[in-house]
Every structure is written in structure tokens, then in C-alpha cells.
Amino acid sequence: MTGIKISVDRLQIGNYVKLPLNWKDHPFLFSSFAIKSREEIDLIRRLGLKQVIMFPDKSSMPPKPVQEIETPANETTAESTLDDIEAALAAEKERRIEQLKLYRRNLQRSEKAFERSLSQLRNLMNKLQTRPLTAIKEAQELVDGIVAQLLSTDEMVLHLMSESPEGESIYYHSLNVSILSMLLAKEAGFTEEEMKQVGFAALVHDIGMLRIPTQILRKTEPLTRPELNLLKQHTRYGHELLDLTKDCPDTAKKVVLHHHERLDGSGFPEGLKAEQLDKLTQMVSVVDEYDELCHPQDQSKAKVPHVVLSFLFKNRTKQLNKDYIGLLVKQLGIYPPGSVVQLSNGQVGLVMSVNPKRLLFPSVLIYDPAIPRQEAPIIDLEDVGLTIGKVISPTRLPAPVFEYLNPRTRISFYFDHSNVPTRA
């Protein structure tokens, strides 16, 4: 979309404009917006601007023809009225800035909790091969703490986490599957003990991958048949590893061995069917498949979360539990964290957080080149009266927008349970 420079005197309601000012140098919430009132035009003029950039494709009205421009004296709002309007806009903008600061503090707290959990997971996975008794106990303590947090509130916000370092995908994948499985278990009405069981099982479901050669795990070309057969052995390797200690719950061993089984018998290693698979295994299988489709070995084949959820619902209900797929959609929303979206006002952003009780109104980081990225607004769509128009593939973003939004290659989630939804 191409903008054109026009005189402020040609502006009218319905024009979509961009102000050539720093975000902090005007009272409006955004530097780009559709004009909704005569007073907004007068406020733009009051800023001392002679020209603005107007986007015809985003505007519901064309600018005034030059010959129809009225004299400012005939159309200007009273100064006292403008004073009141500007003060109200500035106060609202300041309120949103403070809420944004609170949102970022909550996000940072979730990031720190996520990193602590990852650190614990790295340590316990290393211990599983040398000190399995200690590792099992530490894994159960980690899961018990997360379950306690999940049960401490009826409402939470699921946040997008930072990128994973190369070579650590197993830790991010395992923690992601564990967190989402526990969220689903809570939503499905599982008991506290069942939530702990599914969380622990999901945390160690891919432990057998530690015995697969690194060159196979990192290979982006199609695996040869022998390599694929070896990779499939990770379920048996994991079961053997957990079988070294009698303290590992049998429920976890079943999940580790059977999480690649499918309801129609098309899975591995034993070709089991629905009636032979317990509900914990079926739940972890759904989340594992979701995360694997988002993050395949060959990242060029990765699908965005929005597409993966749709794909599972349309194509995997014979292989995976349909009810649990539905619960996953209910938890993540149709616009999961990590989705790049275009809003109803034409702006582009990155979904940062969702509240399962308000799925159509996630919090979105907005692309605005007039605002430094570290200060970019993260807005609650319901709070500002916007909706999502469509999802955009990150690969289709112009380079400056891609760099600004920094869409994640590895999409991981953690939750903040300390507040009702923060609106920024």
C-alpha cells in the first residue's frame, strides 16, 4: 500500500493517515489511524503539521478536492474544547503506557519462570541416564509446582516465549508438550493427580531421543529408511530408560512407549488402536503432534500455529482424539501466540498472549516504525475495539516488518496466573 502526502486542510473523516512524528510527540494512541471526528483533524493541525501521509487503500473516503478546502476559521473546533479532548487523549495514552509496562513485567516474570523450568529440565534429563532416582523425583517436583500454579486460579494468560538456542529443541519441545498437556488436562476436568501424571509423562515422553545420534536428529534432508527406523526406536529406548527405576510411574512409561500410536492403528511401535490407548497417552499424542508440525526437523516445512490447529482438526481426527484437539484449539485460540496477523485497521502485528476465556481478543505487538521496537505497543484488541482480519505467513513480511516483529522460529509457551488479563 502506497501513501501520498496531502495537506492537513484536505483531511476529512474516513481518511487513514500516518503522522510524521515520533510516537511520544502526539496524543494519539497510534501514529497511523483512521480519522473518526472533526476534532481529530483539528488536533492534527494543532500539532503544527502542514502535511500528513494518507493511504487511499485504507481510507473509507477520499481527501477533499483542493477546490473544496474550507478556511480554518469556518471549521476549527473551539480551543477550549480541543484542550479537553487533547488532555483526555493524553491521559488515556498514559494509562495504556502504564498498562503496557505492567504487561511487560508480567511477561518478564513468565520468561524467568520458563527459563527456570528449562534449566531444571536440562539437569534432570542429564541425570536420567546416571542417577534416574534423583531425576524422577526432580521431574515430579517440577511438575507438581506447575500444577499447583495452574490450579491456583481460574484465569490465566498464555504468553509467547523467547527463541530456543540451537541444539536445545528437545528441552523446549518437552516443556512445551508438558505445559500444554497440563492445560488441556485441567480444561478436560482431570483430577489434580491426573494432571501431575500427564505433566510428568509429557515432560519425559521423548527421553529416548537422547539415545538417537545427533546427526539424525539435526538432519534436514529426508531420512533414509534405516535412519527412520532408528528414530522410531526412541519410544522403546525411552521406555527402557525409565524402566531402570521402579519409582517411575507406569502411566508415564505407557505414554513414553505409545505416544506415537494412533487411534486407527497406523502408529508405532505396536500398531495399537483407540481402545488400547489410555486418555493420558491420547492427550500427549495430540500436543506432541501439534508441536512437531510447528517445529519439524526441516524448518522450511514448518507450519504456523494457526495452520497446524486447522490441519489437525481437518485431517487428524481419525488418528488423534478429536475432543483433545478441540481442547487445544480452545486453549490456544484460532490465533495462537506466535501468529502474525493483520488487524481490522490494516496494521500488522505478532500475537504475544491469549486468554482462553477471550480467544478472539489476544494481545498483539504492533508494527509501527515510528516507535522503537523495545517500546512497541502490545495492545489488547478488545480494549481498543480492533479485530483480526487474517493471518499472514511470516515469510511474506517485508524485511523491515519481519525484523521488527521478529516472529519466532521456535514457538514456546508459558503462562502468567498472577493476574486477571492485563489490558494494554
**71-113: per-residue pLDDT in tens?**
554 556 788 888 999 999 989 888 888 888 888 888 888 889 8
167 pLDDT band, cuts 50/70/90, is: low
pLDDT of residue 73: 47
pLDDT higher than 70, residue 250: yes
Please report the pLDDT score of residue 420 as a whole number: 42
Instruction: Mark whether 45 and 149 lie in a shared domain.
Output: no
Q: Are residues 239 and 99 in the same domain?
A: yes
Can you tell me the distance from the alpha carbon of 273 to that of 313, in angstroms, rounded to the nearest whole number? 19
- State residue 164's pLDDT score: 61
- Do 75 and 131 belong together in one domain? no
User: pLDDT (tens digit, 9 = 90+) per residue, 129-165?
Assistant: 788 888 899 999 999 999 999 998 777 788 888 766 6
Structural domain includes residue 89: no
The rounded distance, in Å, linking the Cα atoms of 56 and 103 is: 34
Q: How many domains does the chain have?
A: 2
Q: 307 and 262 share a domain?
A: yes
Are 317 and 404 within one domain? yes
Using a cut of 0.75, tell me whether the model's pTM lies above it: yes
Domain that holds residue 46: 4-80
Mean pLDDT over 175-199 rounds to 96
Q: Where are the extended beta strands (E) located within 143-265?
A: 157-160
Answer with the one of 55, 80, 105 that is the final residue of a domain.
80
Among candidate residues 80, 109, 127, the one where a domain is terminated: 80
Question: Are residues 140 and 25 part of one domain?
Answer: no
Section 3-17 average pLDDT:
94
Percent of the chain at pLDDT exceeding 90: 59
Please report whether residue 422 resides in a domain. Answer: no
User: Would you state the pLDDT for residue 79?
Assistant: 86
User: Do 53 and 115 fall into the same domain?
Assistant: no
Specify the amino acid at residue 410.
Answer: R
For residues 158 and 306, membership in a common domain is answered with yes
User: Is residue 73 domain-shared with residue 164, that is, in the same domain?
Assistant: no
> Looking at the domain assignment, is residue 85 inside a domain?
no
pLDDT band for 1, please (50, 70, 90 cuts).
low
**pLDDT at position 413, please?**
83
- Over residues 339-346, the mean pLDDT reads 91
For the chain, give the mean pLDDT: 89
Instruction: Specify the residue for cell string 495462537.
Output: 336
Contacts (Cβ under 8 Å, ≥6 apart) of 422: 99, 102, 103, 106, 157, 363, 380
Residue 42 burial (CB count, 10 A): 21
**Residue 424 covered by a domain:** no
- Same domain for 199 and 282, yes or no, is yes
Give, in order, the Cα–Cα distances in Å from 148 to each of 153, 192, 246, 256, 345.
9, 9, 25, 24, 40
At residue 99, the pLDDT reads 83
Bigger pLDDT: 375 vs 49 = 49
**Where among 80, 105, 121 does a domain terminate?**
80
pLDDT band at 255 (very low <50, low <70, confident <90, very high): very high
Which pLDDT does position 423 carry in this prediction? 44
- Whether 87 is in a domain gets the answer no
* Residue 286 pLDDT exceeds 90: yes
Instruction: List the alpha helices (DSSP H) in 316-380.
Output: 322-332
129 or 52: which leads in pLDDT: 52
Both 270 and 366 in a single domain? yes
Tell me the pLDDT tens digit for each residue of 294-334: 988 887 788 888 899 999 999 999 999 999 999 999 999 88
In this structure, the answer to whether residues 50 and 102 fall within a common structural domain is: no
Helix/strand/coil for 342 = strand
Q: Which pLDDT value is given to residue 367? A: 92
